Structure 1
Amino acid sequence: MRTKSLSAPNAEHVGALVAMLSWPNLALSPYILAMTGAGVLIALVAWLPLVLRRLPLSLPIICIALGAMLFSFAPIALRPLPQHHPAFTERFTEFVVIIALMGAGLKIDRIFHVRRWQVTWRLLGVTMPLCIAMIAALGVLSGLPWLVALLLGAALAPTDPVLASDVQVGPPRTGEEDEVRFGLTSEAGLNDGLAFPFVQLAILLCAAASDGKPWLVEWLTYNVLWEIVAGVGGGWLVGRAFGWLTFHIPSDSKLASTGDGLIAIAATFISYGLTEVIHAYGFLAVFITALTLRHAHREHDFQRDMHDVTEQVERLAMMVLLLLFGGALASGLLAPLTWIDVGLALAILLLVRPVAGLAGLIGLKIDRTEKLTLAFFGIRGVGSIYYIAYALNHARFAQVDRLWAIVALVILLSILVHGLTVTPIMRSLDRRQGRDPDAAGHERVGG
């Protein structure tokens, strides 16, 4: 009797447990599935860079592939096409970019000086305007309306601070700051803000085409002069304030004493928010804030703490965004493309940036291999998505689906081409310059 009375409840319990764990019940628990997926994502953020460190692959390639598979095979009704979610696309890419800009600024060891930053001024003053003009011209020749072509040029001219970590300088005080890495890091930090006037120009011209409103004076005085100067000034003031509170306040309550690198995230949000309130370029302000905060005490160990937290947040946000980008590709983002568009994307990536890059570096006293590397690694990515989303949320442009498809193809090709070549090229460059890429201090964990 006792045995029988015990066995019956056990059988019932086992049956209930099996029913509870069955797939239909799990499918009805999106919260649990989301939590599990988030755990897997965070584990991949920490682990994949170690696996890919010496392979001709990059973290963005893996993320896009995972996103494409997830949205192709999993029973997910959401189609993450940017044109279907314009507000979310603009805000999420904006968040990812400003975090990346803070991280880029905190990495740079080189003290700011006009002559020592010569490679940066060349890439910003010559290469970027040439890229805008060449892309716009190619866009018109490809059949795009000239305003759409101008927007395309403005969005695709700047290099991306998010997807370029493998060609950027290393963490603070690691000594990984050769001319190539410094040039690409400083260019990515500053050109996102300096490309914005041309995005605004496309928006103003689009509005003027419908209402005839004068645009030139407003663009020069407000979008160019005020927003750049106020962005630089606002970023510097916030950086000075945080530098004093973090390292120099005359008490034991210095922010550096907390050991909490989240201070960098706070500085990012405050810098961006305050400069946007006064209608200045927040991207530019965040990078200037980072440089100023880095300069406040260059040798303090807390600089590395701030950088590490920023990098972790950046990589996690980047992976989420690229999973969605892969999902958008699987959902038909590239469907409007024609063969002309494919040729345009290849020309932007393989012709425009290398030619404009080499033109900007004429006369610069560095090795020819370094010039070729600087010119080649004009990585396009999250910043371009933000600019297109911002412009389309503020004006009515023609051929929106085709525009998104071209931008997405350029980004995809950039991730593939640059991601597959960055490891061998940068390791070869290190060897040519007498550095051992496998040395303990040179093993980086980047995206």
Structure 2
Amino acid sequence: MSAELVYLLVGLGLLLATVLPTVLEGRAVSPPMIVLAVGVLAGLLLPGEDPVEPILNAELTAHLAEACVIISLMGVGLALERPPGWRSWRATWGLLLIGMPLCILVVALLGWSVLGLTLPAAVLLGAVLAPTDPVLASDVQVTGPVVEGMDDVDEDEVRLTLTSEAGLNDALAFPFVYLGLFLMGRGAIGDWGLEWVLWTLLGKIVVGAVLGWVCGWLLGRLAFRASGTLRIAEHGNPLLALAATFAVYGLAELVGGYGFLAVFACALAVRSVESTHGYHLDMHRLIHQLETILTLVLLLMLGAALTAGLLGQLTWQGVLVGVALVFVIRPLTAWLSMARCPDVARSERWVIAGFGVRGIGSIYYLSFALSSEYISEGLQLWAVVAFTIVLSVVVHGVTATPVMRRMDQRRMQGTVTPPG
């Protein structure tokens, strides 16, 4: 794809990102649906020797998606009002510790038995499709930080749970991506199994969480508690959020922790120092704008690639796996994981379970894996993952607005079904 076409697509995407949120507000159509459709149309109409090449350039795509996800994770962390806790985030922990592993297991089994993938590739498919997306799920998440001078907005359980889940499971899916890669290239499981459990599954999570929280607390103290001109919040420059995103991510990765988790923990820690200052809103707005730009670029690339061969190896079995994940596997595993959550009403459980949006996180994980190892089933994996993302964008984009509006109306009327 030529540089001229890239500029054209990015400019068109920015125009759409500017206009669509206002035009589509309150409608059962989401901006990602429109941007993806424009990408499909561009792939059909615009010239180019190999429109599918940009999305299949694993290293380039991985870096773009990586930047999009970490920026989004900072925004998600800054938006949350309720601090993390075992009881206050009970539904979230259930989704992460029960629902996500079950989802990975079922998808991996389908990949192995129905798609005929090798066991390592099947595990990788399950891990890639496991995380809900912090980028494309904005319609069902907390919209932004509540600061001093704004009307207090109650964080309902649905938005809180979907937001906190998206903030954490992008990092917690990483051990299972590594599990698939280890199964491919590191020999018998006895040679590396203990290392995977102690370091890849546990150690890297602890390092990322602790480092991110400490850095966030220090940055929060600098922004809100420092004396004189060092108190960054008083100057109103929101670049601290972007600086923290990249610095904390890079530091966590350098020392071996999970950078995604570190960025999210950093944002939560910054909020914990001072939760009502208007500076949080300034930082969140900057993050949201950058996230929008990167998202539209990736969706345009994905849409163009769909019409240029990315779905070439999609079979009815692959369609079956994608449909099963969106309509059956995610809803059922998520529902089961929240069975013992007394704070979540039955109707709200179904909303949480149904909105497991797949998107940019899955693009990143697959690109990362394919840039790390040669995988003979790579094109087959891309076909299934791309189909599932498109299905999720369409289904969840159409249903998010009416479902959330109805849920809010029932909550205001006091008719939400009690837990049980």
TM over 0.5: yes
- The CA RMSD over aligned residues, in Å, is 1.9
CA separation of 1:82 and 1:347: change in aligned 2, threshold 3 A:
farther
The alpha-carbon deviation at position 178 of structure 1 amounts to 0.7
State whether residues 81 and 331 of structure 1, in contact with CA within 8 Å, keep that contact through their aligned partners in structure 2: no
1:414 matches 2:392: yes
State whether residues 192 and 383 of structure 1, in contact with CA within 8 Å, keep that contact through their aligned partners in structure 2: yes
State whether residues 124 and 191 of structure 1, in contact with CA within 8 Å, keep that contact through their aligned partners in structure 2: yes
1:197 matches 2:197: no
Greater mean alpha carbon deviation, residues 186-195 or residues 67-76: 67-76
Aligned to 2:61: 89
Task: Select which of 137, 143, 164 maps to 2:137.
Answer: 164
Aligned to 2:48, what secondary structure does the other structure show? coil
1:332-385 per-position Cα deviation (integer Å, ceiling 9, x unaligned): 111101111111111111110011011001022222110000000001111111
| Matching of residues 225-264 of structure 1 within 5 Å | 225-264=202-241
Q: Partner letter of residue 194 of structure 1?
A: L
Aligned to 1:19: none
| Matching of residues 363-378 of structure 1 within 5 Å | 363-365=340-342, 366-378=344-356
Larger Rg: 1
1:272 matches 2:230: no
1:45 matches 2:22: no
The alpha-carbon deviation at position 34 of structure 1 amounts to 5.8
Aligned to 1:75: 47
Greater mean alpha carbon deviation, residues 34-43 or residues 327-336: 34-43
Give the unaligned 5+ runs of structure 2: 147-151, 415-420
1:116-137 per-position Cα deviation (integer Å, ceiling 9, x unaligned): 1111111111110110111111
CA separation of 1:122 and 1:289: change in aligned 2, threshold 3 A:
same
Matched residues in 2 for 1:314 and 1:334: separation?
A: 26
1:54-103 per-position Cα deviation (integer Å, ceiling 9, x unaligned): 11101110011001111210223342346631110111110110011001
Aligned to 1:305: 282
The alpha-carbon deviation at position 396 of structure 1 amounts to 2.8
Tell me the number of residue pairs that the alignment of Structure 1 and Structure 2 aligns.
406
Greater mean alpha carbon deviation, residues 424-433 or residues 200-209: 200-209
Matched residues in 2 for 1:341 and 1:112: separation?
A: 37
TM normalised by structure 2 equals 0.93
CA separation of 1:34 and 1:192: change in aligned 2, threshold 3 A:
closer
1:123-182 per-position Cα deviation (integer Å, ceiling 9, x unaligned): 111110110111111111111111111001111111011110001012111615210000
State whether residues 163 and 379 of structure 1, in contact with CA within 8 Å, keep that contact through their aligned partners in structure 2: yes
Aligned to 2:199: 222
Task: Select which of 355, 375, 378 maps to 2:332.
Answer: 355
Aligned to 1:60: 32
Aligned to 1:135, what secondary structure does the other structure show? helix
State whether residues 13 and 35 of structure 2, in contact with CA within 8 Å, keep that contact through their aligned partners in structure 1: no
Matched residues in 2 for 1:83 and 1:327: separation?
A: 9
Q: Partner letter of residue 123 of structure 2?
A: L
CA separation of 1:299 and 1:146: change in aligned 2, threshold 3 A:
same
CA separation of 1:72 and 1:435: change in aligned 2, threshold 3 A:
farther
Aligned to 1:272, what secondary structure does the other structure show? helix
Q: Partner letter of residue 163 of structure 1?
A: L
Matched residues in 2 for 1:49 and 1:88: separation?
A: 28
- Identity among equivalent positions (%) equals 43
Q: Partner letter of residue 154 of structure 1?
A: A
Give the unaligned 5+ runs of structure 1: 1-28, 437-447
Q: Partner letter of residue 430 of structure 1?
A: D
